[in-house]
Amino acid sequence: MTTSLGVISSGRGENLRYILLAERSGYLPSQVKLVLTDQPDAGALKIAREFDVPSLYLDPKGLAREDYDLQLAGHLDAAGVELVVLTGYMRILSPAFVRHYKDRILNIHPALLPSFRGMDAFQQALDHGVKWTGTTIHIVDEEVDHGPIVWQVPVPVRDDDTHESLKARIQRAEHRAYPKAIKKFLEERHKLVGRKLIFEKK
Ligand code: GAR
């Protein structure tokens, strides 16, 4: 069975590209039905066009968060979206939106949560001097970078890393990790015990 995805992005959209490639190769049992963005020049729009996926820029200017999110949800529902996938979406979702898609929104964050939540996780990791950081795919709840964890991949930090070199290494890991986490979430039976997501053994 194919699951309908809706992707929301504010940026480059490289994670979207890797999700679409994973769908087209048959690895992912899903189909991106709609790409939404809050940035008129988001790379995600170009990638959606490249892959012939419907996409839409929705201007948030002058709208309260709840009203903007109602628009997002209207478009996602109309497209029949079952799972919302955030790829570099930099706005905080309203509680009403999160409740509407309860346990059906995934996000990727460029750190091993709960470390380095919020903005510029790369710089936070460098400033803290950690030897390992990584990427986390998690279910979105009403707190930022907080919900139950689906999958994590560690990435080493080198002594001579710059912001750019560390970011590039983490993002390479993300491009493999996000399709893998979506596949796991869609194909493996799981249950939530508190905030712990438990995948049943096959
Ligand atoms: C990714 O590194 C993702 O982890 C990060 O934005 C980038 C999006 O890249 N997300 C966050 O920082 C959210 N807290 P992309 O636009 O190329 O997919």
Q: How far is the CA of 78 from the centre of ligand 1 (A)?
A: 26
Q: How far is the CA of 108 from the centre of ligand 1 (A)?
A: 7
> Which residue, by CA, sits nearest to atom 10 of ligand 1?
88
CA distances from 185 to 30, 97, 130, 135 (A): 11, 20, 29, 16
- pLDDT, residue 8, reads 98
Mutational pocket test of ligand 1: of 50, 87, 116, 176, the residue with most ligand atoms within 8 Å of the beta carbon? 87
Overall pTM surpassing 0.95 (yes/no): yes
Q: What is the pLDDT of residues 160-188, one digit of tens each?
A: 999 999 999 999 999 999 999 999 999 99
- pLDDT, residue 115, reads 98
Q: Determine the distance from the C-alpha atom of residue 52 to the mean position of all C-alpha atoms in its chain, rounded to a whole number.
A: 20
Tokens representing 40?
């008129």
Please answer whether residues 94 and 115 qualify as being in contact, where contact means their C-beta atoms are separated by less than 8 angstroms.
Answer: no
Mutational pocket test of ligand 1: of 7, 138, 171, the residue with most ligand atoms within 8 Å of the beta carbon? 171
Q: What is the pLDDT of residues 51-106, one digit of tens each?
A: 999 999 999 999 999 999 999 999 999 999 999 999 999 999 999 999 999 999 99
Per-residue pLDDT band at 1 (split at 50, 70, 90)? confident
- pLDDT, residue 145, reads 96
| CA angle, residues 34, 43, 16, in degrees to nearest 5 | 50
Tokens representing 200?
């049943």
Per-residue pLDDT band at 202 (split at 50, 70, 90)? low
Indicate the CATH number for domain 1-102. 3.40.50.170
Domain map (residue ranges) of the chain: 1-102, 109-136+150-202
Judge whether 109 counts as a catalytic residue.
Answer: yes
Please answer whether residues 162 and 194 qualify as being in contact, where contact means their C-beta atoms are separated by less than 8 angstroms.
Answer: no
Fold held by 109-136+150-202: Rossmann fold (3.40.50)
Task: Give the Cα separation of 137 and 87 in Å (integer).
Answer: 10
Query: Looking at residues 109-116, what average pLDDT do you find?
Result: 98
Q: What is the pLDDT of residues 27-46, one digit of tens each?
A: 999 999 999 999 999 999 99
- pLDDT, residue 90, reads 95
Q: What is the pLDDT of residues 115-158, one digit of tens each?
A: 999 999 999 999 999 999 999 999 999 999 999 999 999 999 99
Strand pairing partners for 152? Answer: 136
Residues belonging to the chain: 202
Q: What is the number of the ligand 1 atom nearest to the C-alpha of 12?
A: 16
Mutational pocket test of ligand 1: of 7, 9, 10, 15, the residue with most ligand atoms within 8 Å of the beta carbon? 15
- pLDDT, residue 31, reads 98
Residues whose beta carbon lies within 6 Å of some atom of ligand 1? 9, 11-15, 87-88, 108-110, 145, 171, 174
Task: Give the Cα separation of 36 and 86 in Å (integer).
Answer: 10
> Which residue, by CA, sits nearest to atom 9 of ligand 1?
88
Q: Can you list the positions of beta strands (E) in the chain?
A: 3-9, 30-37, 55-57, 83-87, 105-109, 132-139, 149-156, 190-193, 196-199
1-102 and 109-136+150-202 agree in CATH topology: yes
